[in-house]
Amino acid sequence: MTAAAAPELREAAQRHLNEVLDDLRTLVELETPSNDKALLDAGLDGIEAWLGARLGAPAERTRFAGGDHGDVLELRYPGTAEAEVLMVCHYDTVWPRGTLAQWPVTVEGDRFSGPGCFDMKAGLVQGVWALRLLRAAGLPTPAVRLLLNGDEEIGSPASRPHIERASEDAVLTLIMEPSRAGRVKTGRKGMGLFDITATGVESHAGLDPEAGASAVHALAGLVSQVAALENPAQGTTVNVGVFTGGTGRNVVAGRAVCEVDVRIQDPAEMARIDDGLAALKSADPRVEITVSGEWNRPPMNPNAETRRMVALAREVAADLGGDLGEIAVGGASDGNFVSALDRPVLDGMGAQGAGPHSRDEHVQISGTPHQIALAAALMTRLAEKG
């Protein structure tokens, strides 16, 4: 690929920008909340129809049932080279049914706003247009395996095995999650979600307090121990985000639960946290403490193959007249699964913008042609290198 090809791809993306934004509107107006199976199924049907219009029929198609979660759609589009790139895009969002009625799609100045536009329907649109423009330009094109999952926002319980399998033979997995101001995400924290439950003995708080054993009091006494498991020097954070319990102010509480979010950068921290949670004991022996939950995602730390791909992406960014920055972030993604298998992955290859999971969520329109060209030029370089 000549150095001129990347700017030409960006110019082509700029010419088609209105179509790109129309496509983004189409996808955003398909509401796909993670916990609404009916909307997820309908949304995926609509996305597949749109893909057919933009890329034609795939050479291979499989739709895997997601159970209570969104289905996984896997499509393979052949290229001019044997090298295969896996492109992972989640179509679920954090926004509940009916959000569009209060927050419709708006385009004002350099902002495209709407529920799920930045995280991450813009990434899906950009990835599809990158492949479309490569074909139109007649440039070397890798085979692209497109994997769409509808459960990423809740930890990818149904789609994880499909992502891990599909990434095995890929020369690179592109995670089309939002970028951070144009920077790729080469580090992400692993994530553990745990519930700590205290089961005590109920009694009347006024007439018979000694007969009771308060689950609320016992669990409250353990919160500081849970928080003390945090280790900022190692990149480990612990947050007790929800605490519930009891049935009334005049009842010694028989049950209490706290919900804990743990983030780690060092894989060795998983065992330390597990041991710390297992060691929790109530000061009142009548109150039983149980811990449930699991490690939702392993940490993502750049492996040697990922480093090689970052270097290649930097060359492409230089052809576009800029530098590709990289950043480590606290949030997790499907890239964590691929990286943990020591496979090459570039995360944060999607939209520029801000405000994920908030009403400020928006895509920066002016950054869209650059991001499309970056993905397209990187893919054609991979096709050339085989």
Per-residue three-class SS string for 220-273: HHHHHHHHCCCEHHHCEEEEEEEEEECCCCCEECCEEEEEEEEEECCCCHHHHH
Please state, for a pLDDT cut of 90, what percent of the chain lies above it: 98
Residue among 71, 74, 152, 334 flagged as catalytic = 152
Q: Return the percent helix, strand and coil in the chain, to nearest 5.
A: 40, 25, 35
What digits encode the pLDDT tens for the residues 171-188?
A: 999 999 999 999 999 999
Please state, for a pLDDT cut of 70, what percent of the chain lies above it: 99
pTM of the model: 0.92
Is 386 a residue whose pLDDT tops 80?
no
What digits encode the pLDDT tens for the residues 285-319?
A: 999 999 999 999 999 999 999 999 999 999 999 99
pLDDT at 106: 98
Q: What is the arithmetic mean of pLDDT over 332-356? A: 98
Give me the residue label for tokens 């964590």.
336
**Whole-number average pLDDT of the chain:** 97
pLDDT at 1: 66
Residue 375: C-alpha distances to residues 43, 98, 132 (Å): 25, 33, 11
Q: Are 39 and 31 in contact (CB under 8 A)?
A: yes
Q: Are 90 and 157 in contact (CB under 8 A)?
A: no
Computed over its alpha carbons, how large is the radius of gyration of the chain? Answer: 24
Instruction: Show the tokens assigned to 211.
Output: 């007969």
Confidence of residue 3 (pLDDT cuts 50, 70, 90): confident
Q: What fold, for 5-189+300-385?
A: Aminopeptidase (3.40.630)
**CATH number of the domain at 191-297, please?**
3.30.70.360
Nearest by Cα to 383 from 127, 123, 82 = 82
- Omega into 120 within 30° of 0, i.e. cis? yes
The number of beta carbons lying within 10 Å of the beta carbon of residue 288 is 14
Residue among 23, 71, 84, 92 flagged as catalytic = 92
CATH 3.30.70.360 in the chain, residues?
191-297
pLDDT at 4: 82
CA 377 centroid distance within chain: 24
CATH 3.40.630.10 in the chain, residues?
5-189+300-385
Confidence of residue 11 (pLDDT cuts 50, 70, 90): very high
Report how far apart the first and last C-alpha atoms of the chain are (Å, whole number): 13
152 labelled catalytic: yes
What digits encode the pLDDT tens for the residues 65-119?
A: 999 999 999 999 999 999 999 999 999 999 999 999 999 999 999 999 999 999 9
d(CA 375, CA 252): 59
